[in-house]
Every structure is written in C-alpha cells, then in structure tokens.
Structure 1
Amino acid sequence: MRISCLVGIAGALALCTAARDAAATNAVVSPPNCNEAGFAAALATVDNSGGGTITFNCGVATITFTGYKQVAHAVAIDGGGSVTFDGGNSSAFFQVFASGSLVLKRLTLQHGEFNQSHALENFGFLRLDHVKMLDNASTAAPILNLGAMIAEWSTFAGNSNTGTTTNGHGGVILNDGGMATVRNSTFSGNAASTGGGAIYSTSVLEVWNTTFSGNSTTAPGSGGGAIYQTGNGTSSVSYATFADNTGQTFGGGVYSEEPSVLVVSRSVFSNNVNGNCDGGSKSLISDGYNVWSGATSCPFSNSGDGAGNPMLGALANNGGPTQTRLPGAGSAAINRVPHAQCVLAFDQRGSGRPGGANAACDSGAVEVGGAIDLIFADGFE
C-alpha cells in the first residue's frame, strides 16, 4: 500500500491518502479542513486518480457547499453517520458524468437548491446508501437520474419541486430515461407541483419495501401524489405502503399512464386523496395481494386483492434505519400473502419476512412481528 499526504490550505497536515495501486486513491478529510475547500481537495485527489473512497475524521460536522462538485470516475463518500452536506439554500451537490460512479453513504444532504436544475444530477451510476435527503427545494426535481440509480435504506423528507410544466415533475426523483431502483426507504412530506410528489418516472423503475407517507402534488390538474409512471417499458412496485398521499386531481397514491406498464403487488394503500391508485387498464396491473382503504378503491382483482382497513399507525421509528407505518392488530394487511408467494426474505426495517416458519407474509413495507436486525437500529450501520 502506498501512503501519501496533502498539505491543507492552512499549512497543516490535513488530508492523507492511501492507495493500493495507482488507479485507486483514498482520502480522509480531517481538521482543520473539515470544510468545503478541504472536501473539494479530497474529491479532486480521489477522482483524478481514477477513483477511491473519501471518509471523514471531523466528528459531527456540517460542510456547506457554495457550488456543485463533478465526478468523472468511481468515487465513494462515507460520512460515517456524522457528516452533513448543506447547500445553504443556494447550491446543488453533485453532478455524475456518464463515465462516473458515485456512492454516497451514511450522509445527510440538506438545503440544496439550484434553480432550473437539480441538487443531484446523475448521467452515470449513483447509489444512495443510508442517506438522509432533507428539505431540498428547487424549481426542478432534487434528483435527476439519466443513468442507473439505487437508493436503499434512505430517508427523503420535506423536499419540494416548485417548477412549472415539465420542470415540476418529481418532488424527490425524476427518473428520466434511466433505470432507478428504490428499496428499504421512506419518502415523507415531499411535494411536486405538476406530478409525482415523490417520484416521477419516464423509464424503468423498481420499488420495494418502501413507505410513501404524506407526499403530494400541488398544481391544479396534477396527479401521482407518491409515484407518477409514464413513458415506455415495464416498472414494478412490491411490498410498498402508500398512506395519506395527495394527488391534486387524480392518483393520490400512484398513477400509471399508457403506454407504460406498472405492476403493483403485495402493497398497501390507505386514505390517499383523489384516488389510491389510478391508470389505464393496460398500464396499471396487479400481481396480487394488494389491500386498500379510504374513499377510492384500486382497480385490482388478482389473487388476494381487496378492500380492507390496514389500520396503519403514524409514521414512527418502528426499528431499522427508516421510519415506517406499522399495521395495528386486526390489520387487513397482516398475513395477506401466502407463504409460497412471500418472495422477499426481509421487510423495510431489515426484519425477517415472514415472521415465522411456514407463516404467511404481510402486505406493505412492514412485516409485523418479525425480528429486527439491531445493526440498523440507529439508521447508520
């Protein structure tokens, strides 16, 4: 292993790098350079070397961005659960080139704002792992995905997109021609003006073990309070919970527009305003075991589909790294999925699914009674 150090802007030894070969350089951001300039120097070192990992020896720290950073190679940034990137309500965070790969882990990204653009823009590969993305506001979706994206074990709360016409699509994610996978995550209190309060997708989207609570669209005639799916291809939602989302005119939970196909299974829809699930008969399809309650039914009639009260609790810490809506005793979601159809071995919290040998599974993001892996208890493994 090769060890080298960079001298910080204050003349103190601040950034040390370790590389196993010339194509992989790691960096540690340390005092007195726990600031934007120190982080930018670390990023330049790692990215220019062809890739590597950036970690922090800063304790609990907030680094304020005044301009977004570009990534051209394979870069991982691990905040250790203690580092926050703050856009100061005026700056975006990252742009990932088509040649680039960016993994953000155990970080909080907040107050990002970039008019007519995006707090995170991905043309290559983007992975959000145990990330909290909070209160980012702009006139475009906070995250634009044009490449491949994975979001897992992450929280997206209080983000908003106030743009008009097509800029107003996606309160958190605009998946526009890329491929996005969202799993074991929570979207709460996000809003978009023209469609997709949490996610607006024009291409392939996969969602499972995820909670959507209190997301909305705001402009008259808009819909897809949680998810708006359009474009071509087949997308899927499985073991998701949609509760108290609002589409201003239609599709309070999900909306799928032809010619896209959205296959929904093993999911819970509870009291979503202006439609739990809407779409054309060829574009919104059930793969079974969905349950819904409220004023509007879902157009599903496959095995295990039906109305019933899921008796969801409030969004709360029910174990695991993200907040969830836990079904109460007597919930229509409990034991709805036959054992042979359970498919997934764990729920959003990392709890075993099903809760016992040969038992049935619960619809929705949470498996009631499952044993929770304590590694996820604080939200940062």
Structure 2
Amino acid sequence: MGQEFPCTEQGIRDAIVEGGGPHTFACDGPTRLMTESEIVVDHDVTLDGASRLTVDGGGAHLVLSVAEGVDAELRGFTVTNGDGGIRNMGTLTVTHCTVSGNYRLGVGGGLSNAGTMMLVGTTVAENTAEDQGGGIFNSYGTLVVTNTTVSGTIYAEGGPGENVVAVVASVGTVVRGEPGSSPGCFGTPQDIGPNEWVSDGYNIEVGGDSCGFDATGDQINLSAEALNLGPLADNGGPTMTHALGAGSVAIDWIPEADCVDADGQPVTTDQRGQPRPETDGTICDVGAFEVQA
C-alpha cells in the first residue's frame, strides 16, 4: 500500500527504501527539488509525483538511475538539468512525465536504457548529448514508446546474437530529430539486426525515414511545418508539453479503437490528464498532447 512522504529529496529516497507503493509526496504545490547527488532506485517501487514534482540535477550529476533487477514506475515527474536525466538498468515505466533540459558529455542526454523501459504519455525534449542519443540512448535494451513526444534523437545499439538486440517499439508517437542536424532515429543494422525498430502504427517522424515507421497510419519524412509542434511550454497541464498547432498532421489521426498502449489497453488521457480522445471526438491525436475542442 502506498504512503505519503515529505516533499523533499530525502522523502523520495525514503520512499524508494520503503518499496511498493504507489507512494506520493506532501507538496503544497509545484515544487522543484535541487538534488545533492544521483537518486538510485534500488527497490521495486512506484513513485507518483502527481505532476507537481520537478527533480533537478543542478547540472552536476545524473538525476535518477534504476538498478539492475529492479522493477519501478515513475509517474508525473519532471526530470531536468542533470548530467543525463534517467539511466535504466532494470525495468522502468515512465508515465506522464517530462524529461527535459538535461546534458550529457557522453551518451543519452535525456534517457539511457540498457534494460526494459516503457514510456507512456511522456515528453522527452531539449536534451543534448555530445556523443549519441540526445533524447534517448537505448543500449542492448528494449524500449517501448506509447503516445509520447520525443524532440531529439533516439539511438539504439546492440550486437550479434538473439539476446543482445536493441529493440525500439512505438505506437502513436511523434519523433522529431534535432533540427538541422540529425534524423530522428539512429542505429547500425548490421550490428543490431533487422528488428531494430518495430512500429505498431500511427507514429510520425519529422525530417526523415530512419525509425522504421512502416505500419498502418505511420507518417514519415514530414516537414516541421506539417507537424506544427509548439515549443516546450506550460500548456495548461501540470508538466511542460509540446502543443499541437492548428492544422497539425498529428491531430485526429488515430482511430479510437487503435488508441491503446503496448498492452492493448485504452489510453484515455494525455500527459496533462486531458481526455483522449477529446470529449466530443472519436479520433485521438498522435503524441503526448491531445487537442481539446
């Protein structure tokens, strides 16, 4: 059973030690926590920031990591200003979160995954890495991306053999590469194998055809103007999102019957908690943001 912990860095650490959950935090309102060191998730736990908690690495250290063998879920957090945002070696579900403004000298500015990671209704934006994967670096892991917006590159690496393949599967997701420099997805087919990128449909890639989006409803090689994705901003929700502008090709694209997560369950809200599809509609938008009538 979940408990409520103090709205502090130590409160998060204590919730992790307690394990289980979902654990919440007694925040009076939107709260930014400046962390003194990396938060290590080394117990099976669900942490619910209720879209009020921003965890800030101060530009000095990785914000959060999940240890090998651990099964964790992060809900409603903003992870920012770290020497990398999140590194996962276990099994991690990231739901209705924003990972933004992180910088890594090596790989994986926003997210680095070497285990199993599920992103649901999440925004990954404005992260950078000097090497590969400014948005997401998936190394020998499985990455499942659902109704998520990734503004920045996704890089996958694996190797020969059936047990060391990097797999990226996505549905209802927007991938926009770093403007003027990179395609949305990277990887080396001869190293990773033919199943490197797996699409379950209704994804969008801007500026190229690098993500293997070839299923029903996928749109590739689109212009930024066609997507009309707004800047990362406060769009009326508790966490920062990219709004869809008027006429965006992402609006009203996914039939309600196909607006589901990786387990085939209906997705009924966007990252902000707004109805998906919108109240009077029967077709969902692509990405983490659902335009309301």
Shorter-chain TM range is 0.7 to 0.9
Q: Give the letter for the 1:353 counterpart.
A: R
Number of the residue aligned with 2:254: 337
Deviation at 1:131, TM superposition (A): 1.2
Cα distance in 2 for residues equivalent to 1:277 and 1:81: 43
Superposed CA offset, 1:303-322 (max 9, x none): xxxxx812333333334333
Highest relative contact order (Cα 8 Å, sep 6+), 1 or 2? Answer: 2
Number of the residue aligned with 1:193: 130
Deviation at 1:198, TM superposition (A): 1.9
For the 8 Å contact 1:184–1:209, the answer to whether it is kept is yes
Deviation at 1:355, TM superposition (A): 3.5
Cα distance in 1 for residues equivalent to 2:48 and 2:174: 24
Cα distance in 2 for residues equivalent to 1:84 and 1:323: 13
Q: 1:71 and 1:345, CA in 2 relative to 1: closer, same or farther beyond 3 A?
A: closer
Q: 1:285 and 1:69, CA in 2 relative to 1: closer, same or farther beyond 3 A?
A: same
For the 8 Å contact 2:63–2:79, the answer to whether it is kept is no
Number of the residue aligned with 1:92: 38
Number of the residue aligned with 1:120: 65
Number of the residue aligned with 1:229: 156
Cα distance in 2 for residues equivalent to 1:314 and 1:233: 30
Q: Give the letter for the 1:365 counterpart.
A: A
Number of the residue aligned with 1:157: 100
Match of 1:239 among 172, 175, 179: 172
- Residue 110 (str. 1) matches residue 38 (str. 2): no
Deviation at 1:69, TM superposition (A): 8.4
Using the aligned pairs only, state the percent identity: 27
Q: 1:70 and 1:309, CA in 2 relative to 1: closer, same or farther beyond 3 A?
A: closer
What is the TM-score with the length of structure 2 in the denominator? 0.75
What is the TM-score with the length of structure 1 in the denominator? 0.59
Deviation at 1:111, TM superposition (A): 1.9
For the 8 Å contact 1:256–1:262, the answer to whether it is kept is no
Deviation at 1:181, TM superposition (A): 0.6
Cα distance in 1 for residues equivalent to 2:216 and 2:285: 12
Match of 2:110 among 172, 196, 205: 172
Q: 1:353 and 1:143, CA in 2 relative to 1: closer, same or farther beyond 3 A?
A: closer
- Residue 205 (str. 1) matches residue 129 (str. 2): no
Count residues in correspondence: 266
Q: Give the gaps of 5 or more residues in structure 1.
A: 1-23, 25-51, 163-167, 216-224, 296-307, 371-381
Number of the residue aligned with 2:87: 144
Deviation at 1:84, TM superposition (A): 4.5
Superposed CA offset, 1:137-191 (max 9, x none): 2xxx4422121101111111211111xxxxx221122211x11111111122111
For the 8 Å contact 2:198–2:213, the answer to whether it is kept is yes
For the 8 Å contact 1:70–1:95, the answer to whether it is kept is no
Cα distance in 2 for residues equivalent to 1:154 and 1:333: 20
Q: Give the gaps of 5 or more residues in structure 2.
A: 159-164, 261-265
Cα distance in 2 for residues equivalent to 1:87 and 1:356: 39
Number of the residue aligned with 2:210: 278
Cα distance in 2 for residues equivalent to 1:148 and 1:247: 34
Greater Cα radius of gyration, structure 1 or 2: 1
